[in-house]
Amino acid sequence: MSLRRTFAITGRLMRQFRHDRRTLAILFVTPLLVLALFAALFRTDVPLPTVGVVGPADGSLSAAIADALVASDAVAASRIESADAGEARLSDRILDAVVVVPAPGSDGVLRPEIVVEGTNQRVAGIVPGALQQAVGAGMAAFAPPIPSGAPAPSIPRIEPVVRSLYGGSELDALDLLGGPFIGLLVFLLVYVVTSVSFLRERSAGTLERLMASPLRRTEIVVGYMIGFTIVALVQAAEVLGFGLLVLKLYNAGSVWLIFGLEVLLAVGAVSLGIFLSTFARTEFEAVQFIPLVVVPQVLLSGLLVPVSSEPGWLQVISNVLPLTYAVDALREVMLRGAGLESGIVLRDVAVLAGFCVLVIVAASATLRREVA
Amino acid sequence: MTAAATASTRPAIEARDVRKRFGAVQALAGVTLSVPTGMVYGLLGPNGAGKTTLIRALVGLVKPEEGELRVLGQRMPDREILERIGYMTQATALYADLTAEENARFFAAVHGGGDVEAALRFVNLWDRRASVTSKLSGGMRTRLSLACALVHRPDLLLLDEPTVGVDPQLRAQLWDGLREMAAGGTTIIVSSHVMDEAERADRLGLMLDGRVLAEGTVADLLALAGTDRLEDAFLRLSAAGLDR
């Protein structure tokens, strides 16, 4: 083995890196960006879950527990008038949970009820803990220290019950993540395939030929869009079928609506692929865009961490990323059974459709710019 | 072509003082040119002379900064007229994973229809129509590229170095075909840096540094340079052009 020849290879690589600023940026800037995003997502003071407390104010043990919960610093709790009003606010996403502390039953057992919205695992983890503490604090406040030798006062047994407004308690992590993840998969794969294949059109010189034909730019973009959307639809149907039939993902909504959302996602992904391929000269460069386009969207879409628990400046970014709306809509439909009559779903669909139009226009415009 | 035909139709191409700059490079430095309908016109010049830029301007891919460019009577760029223009690029720009016939069919379709069989027979590839393009030899791909450029029977055919990698026998055959098309009224522009190829054109334009240095039939150019070899004529005329 000749060191000289070996170092020739190494030296050449280093010189190539020097000329390829973009690769250097990908190698040295992207990891910091992604890591910083992770830190912002997972190590920030997220807002406390908002809890509505229903309970008596009569100096009973139940009242003491309710008061202790309102005073708890694990949740942002306040008293509300009734459980029904609380549930309405739950489904409007004003409250994260409702806790009802009734008087002990005739059997002497106190059964506080926690009603959660059902699609937010973080809340589902925090609220029972907070109630547990409130029970302890409430009992301490209600029963003064027992003098030694005196008989223990009868303290009711406490058995909290958790109920979910949507989906029921049988929702597991896959049910919560699976639906939005299907949308994400469709978007990402279609984006990658389109950007690489459109780039091939550029590098092979066939795009030049198309530009010298009577084809309009929008005809090229829309033609591409239809072609890849057809493929994406088959893919979406396959993935959805696998998710619902084989993995038995929980779905309370319309399969057609889910499918429609995936069509929108695919159309957006195709146009984005064409648009961004303008900024790359080779397939390698197109692949380099993936960490920049894909990773932030996955992290900030609300799939892993609810957008509402992100720090404010990240929420701003999340709110302009199209995938955020796709994830939200898919959750809304699959977990809460919402349809097009829901304002939230309509808003999500409108944003996704607007995104598609925007990228189609941008993709057509960049094609023109390249020519003259 | 007859004198009557010349008189009755406008030139297929009229360029007047066309200029285009790419950064520091003056790719077209005032090209003035007129090509009558039904002629095979050779654009001859070394690499970097501006031949490809001129051809790209003729199909509207390059917009001149100055001057006027009319193709088939229309001021370029004009999208509608592209239906009547065939353009074969330097790179054999084809879809490698489609068959020869599928490629020809696609380019016919984007130009609004054409005769796929006639085009493939013209370049001697009808028997190979079912072959996947990536499996064809370099020469075959060049021929297929030509077929894709003329499948829609254009009135103007622009060929950027069309016979690179084509063997002499087939090259002769292709030229016969091009002559036949020209006789049928198609105007053909062929760019080349190979002298013996240029000699087959009806008229030649010698390009250097973004300008047409000299123009005429092969005989005209030889007489102008006072030599009997086109290669010498080109060298002398370029030297004279640079002195100017």
A42-46, A175-179, B176-180, B188-192, range with the lowest pLDDT: A42-46
Rounded Cα–Cα distance for residues B120 and B144 (Å): 7
Provide the angle, in degrees to the nearest 10, between the axes of the packed helices A255-277 and A173-204: 40
pLDDT tens by residue, B67-86: 888 888 888 778 888 889 99
Q: Give B 54-83 residues with CB within 8 A of chain A.
A: 56, 59-63, 77, 79-80, 82-83
Sign of the dihedral defined by the CA atoms of residues B177, B180, B181, B182, in that order: positive
In chain B, residues with a C-beta closer than 8 Å to the C-beta of A206 are: 93-95
Average pLDDT on A333-357 reads 88
Average pLDDT on B188-204 reads 82
Å between A331 CA and nearest CA of chain B: 40
Give 3-state DSSP helix, strand, coil % of chain A, rounded to 5.
65, 5, 30
DSSP A317-352: HHTT-HHHHHHHHHHHHHHH---TTSHHHHHHHHHH
Residue B31 · residue B17 · CB < 8 Å: yes
A76-85, A218-227, A262-271, B222-231, range with the lowest pLDDT: B222-231
Rounded Cα–Cα distance for residues A55 and A110 (Å): 12
pLDDT tens by residue, A265-278: 888 888 888 888 87
Q: Give the residue on A whose Cα is nearest the Cα of B149.
A: A209
Q: Do B93 and A371 touch (CB under 8 A)?
A: no
Instruction: Choose, out of A208, A213, A222, the residue to mutate when testing the contact with B (most B CBs < 10 Å).
Output: A213
Question: What does pTM read for this prediction?
Answer: 0.74
Rounded Cα–Cα distance for residues A82 and A94 (Å): 15
Q: Measured between alpha carbons, how far apart are the two ends of chain A, in Å?
A: 52
Å between A365 CA and nearest CA of chain B: 15
pLDDT of residue A148 exceeding 80, the answer is no
| pLDDT tier for residue B8 given thresholds of 50, 70 and 90 | very low
Q: Do B61 and A371 touch (CB under 8 A)?
A: yes
Q: Do B61 and A211 touch (CB under 8 A)?
A: yes
Return the higher-pLDDT residue of A209 and B231: A209
Q: Do A214 and B89 touch (CB under 8 A)?
A: no
Instruction: Choose, out of B21, B79, B155, the residue to mutate when testing the contact with A (most A CBs < 10 Å).
Output: B79
Q: Give the residue on B whose Cα is nearest the Cα of A211.
A: B61
The average confidence (pLDDT) of chain B is: 85
Q: Do A215 and B62 touch (CB under 8 A)?
A: no
Predicted confidence at residue A170, as pLDDT, reads 66
Q: Do A372 and B87 touch (CB under 8 A)?
A: no
> Which of B79, B93, B148 is facing A208, going by the closest CB pair?
B93
Average pLDDT on B120-147 reads 90
Predicted confidence at residue B118, as pLDDT, reads 92
In chain A, residues with a C-beta closer than 8 Å to the C-beta of B89 are: 205, 208-209
Rounded Cα–Cα distance for residues B79 and A123 (Å): 60
In chain B, residues with a C-beta closer than 8 Å to the C-beta of A211 are: 61
**Phi–psi pair at B202, nearest 5 degrees:** -70, -45
The length of chain B in residues reads: 244
Predicted confidence at residue B120, as pLDDT, reads 94
Å between A115 CA and nearest CA of chain B: 58
| pLDDT tier for residue B5 given thresholds of 50, 70 and 90 | very low
Q: Do A206 and B77 touch (CB under 8 A)?
A: no
pLDDT of residue B140 exceeding 70, the answer is yes
Q: Measured between alpha carbons, how far apart are the two ends of chain B, in Å?
A: 35
Q: In angstroms, what is the C-alpha Rg of chain B?
A: 18
| Closest residue by Cα to residue A198 from A277, A309, A139, A259 | A277
A39-48, A106-115, A195-204, B156-165, range with the lowest pLDDT: A39-48
Q: Do B107 and A213 touch (CB under 8 A)?
A: yes
pLDDT of residue B244 exceeding 60, the answer is no
Judged by a CB distance cut-off of 8 A, whether residue B122 touches chain A is: no
Predicted confidence at residue B161, as pLDDT, reads 82
A97-111, A158-172, B177-191, range with the lowest pLDDT: A158-172
In chain A, residues with a C-beta closer than 8 Å to the C-beta of B110 are: 210, 213-215
Type of residue at A248: K
Rounded Cα–Cα distance for residues A10 and A4 (Å): 10
Report DSSP state, residue B27. E
In chain B, residues with a C-beta closer than 8 Å to the C-beta of A371 are: 60-61
Predicted confidence at residue A143, as pLDDT, reads 67
| pLDDT tier for residue A348 given thresholds of 50, 70 and 90 | very high
In chain B, residues with a C-beta closer than 8 Å to the C-beta of A204 are: 91, 93-96
DSSP A22-60: HHHHHHHTHHHHHHHHHHHHHSS-PPPPEEEEE---SSS
pLDDT of residue B102 exceeding 90, the answer is yes
Helix (H, G, I), strand (E, B) or coil at B38: coil
Q: Which residues of A touch B (CB under 8 A)?
A: 204-206, 208-216, 371-372
Average pLDDT on B89-117 reads 90
pLDDT of residue B6 exceeding 50, the answer is no
Rounded Cα–Cα distance for residues B224 and B215 (Å): 10
Q: What is the ipTM of this complex?
A: 0.86
The average confidence (pLDDT) of chain A is: 83
Residue A207 · residue A230 · CB < 8 Å: no
pLDDT of residue A372 exceeding 50, the answer is no
pLDDT of residue B121 exceeding 50, the answer is yes
pLDDT tens by residue, A280-336: 777 777 777 777 777 888 888 888 888 877 888 888 888 888 889 999 899 888 888
Q: CA triplet B201, B35, B214: central angle to 5 degrees?
A: 70
A65-69, A106-110, A330-334, range with the lowest pLDDT: A106-110
> Which of A209, A215, A372 is facing B87, going by the closest CB pair?
A209
Rounded Cα–Cα distance for residues B97 and B131 (Å): 10
Q: Give the residue on A whose Cα is nearest the Cα of B95.
A: A206
| Closest residue by Cα to residue B113 from A209, A214, A206 | A214
Average pLDDT on A151-175 reads 72
